[in-house]
Structure 1
Amino acid sequence: MRKSATTRRARALTVVAAMATALVGMAPVSAVAGDGPDDGHHHKRGYVCDRLEWDHRDHHHAAVGSGRCHAMNAPRRGDIRGPFTIKTRHGHHKVLCVSRHGDSGYANTPRWVRGKDCRRA
């Protein structure tokens, strides 16, 4: 093989490797940045659970996600501050929780997560 052919092949492999590295590096960021192509840009963190229910005992529009809850860019245990989402594993139901009075909810994953001032998203 001539030197020029070897150089071209090395350059081509370098470009392919750089593109593959860039794509692999982007995948986790896009998974955290939003919940999907149809969701708004402000839903950057939340929880995915097996079930999602409204807590009718509470007058603050509370929602509870339960069963194998998984945190995405959110605390796994303790107080949750700021907006976050709770959605079902298959994406059938989703709520956005935002409390204007400090804590927006409380997490105890993987068992459950509870949000205050929630609305359907």
Structure 2
Amino acid sequence: ERSRPRNALERREWTTEEDDIIRSGVKQFGYRWRRIASLPQLQGRSDDAVRNRCAGEDGGGGAKRERIGWTQAEDAIIISTVREIGHKWYRIAQRIPGRTEHAIRNRW
């Protein structure tokens, strides 16, 4: 008997309820995927899966967001805050609503 690869998990379809929970989570927490994925209603969903569901082209009416470019003002906040407090991405993200610490680090 062949065993499946150790990282192959049972895939399950996304539900409309999960999409609604993701949308609500984004409104409440911003794009903090780990925080949203930790909600009890999304048990078994990883932060990457939640992020991909939100940003991806799923064709099923899932929670999608448009990618928007960086503004000069956001860049200025990043530069000045890194000078002020260093590479504390979480704290920098608190000064730029709608941007995750991961996105800010990548932008830097």
**TM-score category by the smaller chain?**
under 0.3
Per the normalisation by structure 1, the TM-score is: 0.23
More helix by share: 2
More contact order relative to length (CA 8 Å, sep ≥ 6): 1
